[in-house]
């Protein structure tokens, strides 16, 4: 694997793009995102209080990586705890949790466009529709909102009050779903369905305790990773109860639960799906795969190793396992065989794929 400067990488990618497009008929109305950086954007939280998180960029076609993309593009650190990231056309949005802000970057070279303030505990970001992105915010004790940010003005233009501790957001069909974990209180047990047209809560689903991550399958049903209630002893050793994976049937509105017997996953990005939506992957004391038609959880892990985060490449189905101990992304095929790996910044938690 080759590591090089952002300037050199952009030059190579630009020349490659020029060669490819020079042989083709000119598009009279070119895609405005055509010149965006293409590849994997690994969200790396960094160490709490040290502001050493960033986005690690990896281009698999060129086998090139940049460990700290934002820093190399702007000369400054993005802030304390880079929690999540999303792309909307030519703009990228970095949620920086402990610094209480959202940074907007140009996706062509990752340079700073604007910093949006006015958050207390921002967590997840998704593109909600053509005109807006949503950011979840709230630690469970205060300021529990889903904020809407206008893509033209890059300002917060609306807020939706929610019960407690909104975590990961999911766009599925015409709706947005939010897992309400309870925040610092760890006592949430619901998933809400948001109608983006009216920016109101259309449905509320009761699930197992502390839902933190969500994904949809090919049928449009929602799968929820519920971490369970945490209890600590005098030495701060933690144990969990009530953990499980819940399936929300969006047609019947019924919720079914698959109970987990142990909980060993410390991150919040613990569930994803195969590109065709037939298989659900999840983390615990290993990496597991489950057919969506199965009536029970798998008993044997696909990969017998714990990870901090999980993301599946929607283009080829490769599984990216994020190792926070060694600051590394391990890319495996759908049989669990490692294909390659690359170094990341500290505490990688998820991947955003942009092709």
pLDDT digits (tens, 9 = 90+) for 180-234: 999 998 899 999 999 999 999 999 999 999 999 999 999 999 999 999 999 989 9
Average the pLDDT over 9-31 and give the result.
45
pLDDT of residue 119: 97
CA pair distance 15, 1, nearest whole angstrom: 20
pLDDT at 254 over 60: yes
Q: In the beta sheet, which residues pair with residue 155?
A: none
Lowest mean pLDDT among 29-43, 82-96, 266-280, 283-297: 29-43
Taking CA atoms, 27 is separated from 17, 19, 22, 35, 326, in Å, by 14, 15, 11, 14, 45
Confidence bin at 168 (pLDDT 50/70/90): very high
Q: What is the pTM of this model?
A: 0.92
Handedness of CA 107, 127, 284, 290 (dihedral sign): negative
pLDDT at 18 over 60: no
pLDDT of residue 2: 61
Average the pLDDT over 83-92 and give the result.
98
CA-nearest of 232, 282, 293 to 260 is 282
pLDDT of residue 284: 97
Tens-digit pLDDT profile for residues 101-159: 999 999 999 999 999 999 999 999 999 999 999 999 999 988 999 999 999 999 999 99
Percentage of residues of the chain with pLDDT beyond 70:
92
Alpha helices in the chain (DSSP H): 6-22, 69-74
Percentage of residues of the chain with pLDDT beyond 90:
86
């Amino acid at each position: 694997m080759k590591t090089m400067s952002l300037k050199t990488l952009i030059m190579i990618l630009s020349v490659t793009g020029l060669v490819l497009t020079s042989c083709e008929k000119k598009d009279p109305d070119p895609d405005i995102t055509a010149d965006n950086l293409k590849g994997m954007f690994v969200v790396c939280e960094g160490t709490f209080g040290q502001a050493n998180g960033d986005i690690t960029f990896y281009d698999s076609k060129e086998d090139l990586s940049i460990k700290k993309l934002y820093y190399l593009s702007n000369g400054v650190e993005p802030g304390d705890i880079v929690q999540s990231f999303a792309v909307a056309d030519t703009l990228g949005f970095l949620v920086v949790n402990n610094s209480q802000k959202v940074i907007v970057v140009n996706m062509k070279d990752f340079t700073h466009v604007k910093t949006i303030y006015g958050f207390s505990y921002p967590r997840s970001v998704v593109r909600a529709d053509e005109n807006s992105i949503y950011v979840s915010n709230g630690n469970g004790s205060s300021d529990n909102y889903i904020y809407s940010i206008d893509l033209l003005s890059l300002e917060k233009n609306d807020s939706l009050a929610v019960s407690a501790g909104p975590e990961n957001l999911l766009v599925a069909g015409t709706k947005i779903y939010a897992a309400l974990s309870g925040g610092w209180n760890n006592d949430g047990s619901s998933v809400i369905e948001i109608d983006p047209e009216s920016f109101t809560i259309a449905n509320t689903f009761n699930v197992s305790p502390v839902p933190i991550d969500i994904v949809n399958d090919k049928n449009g049903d929602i799968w929820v990773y519920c971490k369970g209630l945490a209890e600590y002893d005098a030495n701060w050793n933690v144990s969990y109860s009530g953990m499980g994976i819940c399936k929300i049937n969006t047609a019947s509105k019924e919720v079914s639960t698959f109970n987990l017997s142990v909980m060993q996953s410390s991150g919040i990005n613990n569930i994803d799906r195969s590109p065709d939506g037939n298989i659900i992957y999840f983390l615990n004391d290993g990496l597991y795969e489950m057919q969506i038609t199965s009536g029970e959880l798998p008993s044997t892990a696909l990969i017998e190793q714990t990870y901090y985060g999980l993301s599946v490449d929607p283009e080829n189905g490769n599984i990216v396992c994020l190792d926070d101990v060694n600051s590394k992304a391990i890319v495996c095929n759908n049989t669990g065989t490692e294909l390659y790996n690359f170094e990341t910044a500290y505490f990688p938690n998820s991947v955003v794929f942009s092709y």
